[in-house]
């Protein structure tokens, strides 16, 4: 059996190790100049045209973004159910209620028409997820948000560098969060980056990140300690210099899979969209779980199911909603390796394995 092809593989090089060593040697470890530089460089690199605030995880970023936008008890925030639980968790932790809405069959992202159907007089905002690195329909969602006077946020955890008609994700919402977890398109070890649409949201993000303090011991609001360390920021700064090449490799790998896979439904890309392939997700209408097991056992090809249980059915939420496209995606979706460490031989093995198994199963 050939070596196992993992579904994801963080890349940490000598430059990251040297940067960490530099910070450790300096003796200044907690949030400091590396974090400030990382915030500036991140905003500039992804052409966000707005300020960024670094935090200790993507989940903290969502939580603080919601708090800084004034979301709390009594509010409803519309989210997809077909996402990682952090999306809904962060809403619930503010005291607001996540309202789960169905996705589009092609992009796996929030459906603007279904969002409009779910709006009530308590709806404060809608928070789409740019799932797998494909941008949600921000034009459609912005139109619904404007029509009903609600805010638009972005869970861009999986979408560093994705864009719609050249406009980068992370530049649309009142706030947007990028995750820097190791398996995301770039990492700081753990971490999150939040972009802020205006100076007041930025100021509140900085307050909530640091116990409510802008000036030491003059606490203005009840806050948290969600600071990023300079150790993590130093890793992130190095990764910023590499992420574009990795993204191009992801896109080339995806193009190869698009061109060569048969018998499974390859991921469509909407016109004008730049997809950054955090995941390369196919639909397997019959026996997805059996295909995943055979890929692993017979071909040593790893894969992932993101996400087999929709959030609205998880124990903390149990929302009585009917989301047929979400249920179908949870049943059919399988993410194949697309990460930049794949060799040509790996890609050929993935194609051979999927085509052979999916054909036999069809």
Ligand X SMILES: *Cc1c(COP(=O)(O)O)cnc(C)c1O
**Residues binding ligand X (CB under 6 A):** 57-59, 83-84, 86-87, 129, 155, 157-158, 179, 181, 192
Of 128 and 347, nearer to ligand X (C-beta) is 128
| Cis, peptide link before residue 307, omega less than 30° from 0 | yes
Of 263 and 326, nearer to ligand X (C-beta) is 326
Nearby residues of 43 by Cβ (< 8 Å), 6 or more positions away? 49, 50, 51, 52, 195
Helix (H, G, I), strand (E, B) or coil at 129: strand
Of 310 and 354, nearer to ligand X (C-beta) is 310
Beta strand spans in 1-150 (E):
51-55, 76-80, 97-101, 123-126
- Residue 217 CB, shortest distance to ligand X, in Å, is 29
Helix (H, G, I), strand (E, B) or coil at 116: helix
* Residue 294 C-alpha from the chain's centroid: 28
- The rounded distance, in Å, linking the Cα atoms of 170 and 77 is 18
Question: Vertex 201, ends 102 and 43: CA angle to 5°?
Answer: 85
What is the token pair recorded at 237? 């700064």
Of 23 and 129, nearer to ligand X (C-beta) is 129
- Residue 283 CB, shortest distance to ligand X, in Å, is 19
- The rounded distance, in Å, linking the Cα atoms of 19 and 316 is 40
- Residue 191 CB, shortest distance to ligand X, in Å, is 7
Of 153 and 181, nearer to ligand X (C-beta) is 181
Residue nearest to ligand X (CB): 58
- The rounded distance, in Å, linking the Cα atoms of 194 and 171 is 10
- Residue 302 CB, shortest distance to ligand X, in Å, is 18
CA distances from 178 to 39, 246, 249 (A): 12, 16, 20
- Residue 262 CB, shortest distance to ligand X, in Å, is 29
- Residue 192 CB, shortest distance to ligand X, in Å, is 5
- The rounded distance, in Å, linking the Cα atoms of 94 and 361 is 46
Of 45 and 130, nearer to ligand X (C-beta) is 130
- Residue 55 CB, shortest distance to ligand X, in Å, is 9
Rg of the chain (C-alpha set): 20
- Residue 179 CB, shortest distance to ligand X, in Å, is 3
Of 62 and 301, nearer to ligand X (C-beta) is 62
What is the token pair recorded at 109? 């992202």
Of 131 and 292, nearer to ligand X (C-beta) is 131
Helix (H, G, I), strand (E, B) or coil at 83: coil
Q: 196: exposed, middle or buried (C-beta count within 10 Å: 0-12, 13-18, 19+)? A: buried
């Amino acid at each position: 059996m050939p070596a196992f092809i993992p579904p994801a593989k963080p890349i940490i090089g000598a430059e990251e190790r040297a940067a960490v060593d530099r910070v450790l040697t300096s003796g200044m470890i907690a949030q400091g100049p590396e974090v400030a530089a990382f915030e500036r460089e991140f905003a500039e690199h992804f052409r966000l045209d707005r300020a960024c605030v670094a935090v200790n995880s993507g989940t903290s970023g969502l939580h603080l973004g919601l708090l800084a936008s004034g979301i709390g008890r009594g509010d409803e925030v519309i989210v997809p159910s077909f996402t990682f639980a952090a999306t809904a968790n962060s809403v619930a932790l503010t005291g607001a209620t996540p309202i789960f809405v169905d996705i589009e069959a092609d992009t796996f992202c929030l459906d603007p028409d279904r969002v409009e159907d779910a709006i009530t007089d308590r709806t404060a905002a809608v928070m789409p997820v740019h799932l797998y690195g494909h941008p949600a329909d921000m034009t459609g969602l912005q139109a619904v948000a404007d029509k009903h006077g609600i805010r638009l946020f972005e869970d861009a955890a999986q979408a560093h560098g994705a864009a719609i008609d050249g406009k980068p994700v992370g530049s649309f919402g009142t706030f947007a969060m990028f995750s820097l977890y190791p398996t995301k398109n770039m990492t700081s070890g753990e971490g999150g980056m939040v972009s802020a649409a205006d100076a007041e949201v930025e100021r509140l993000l900085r307050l909530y990140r640091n116990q409510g303090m802008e000036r030491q011991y003059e606490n203005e609001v009840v806050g948290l300690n969600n600071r990023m360390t300079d150790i993590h920021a130093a890793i992130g700064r190095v990764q910023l210099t590499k992420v574009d090449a990795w993204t191009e490799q992801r896109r080339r790998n995806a193009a190869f899979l698009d061109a060569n896979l048969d018998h499974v439904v390859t991921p469509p890309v909407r016109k004008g969209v730049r997809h950054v392939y955090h995941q390369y997700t196919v639909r397997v209408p019959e026996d997805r779980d059996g295909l995943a097991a055979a890929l692993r056992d017979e071909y040593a090809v790893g894969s992932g199911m993101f996400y087999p249980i929709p959030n609205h059915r998880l124990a903390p939420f149990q929302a009585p909603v009917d989301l047929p496209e979400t249920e179908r995606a949870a049943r059919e979706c399988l993410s194949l390796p697309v990460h930049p460490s794949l060799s040509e031989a790996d890609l050929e093995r993935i194609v051979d394995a999927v085509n052979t198994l999916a054909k036999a199963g069809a």
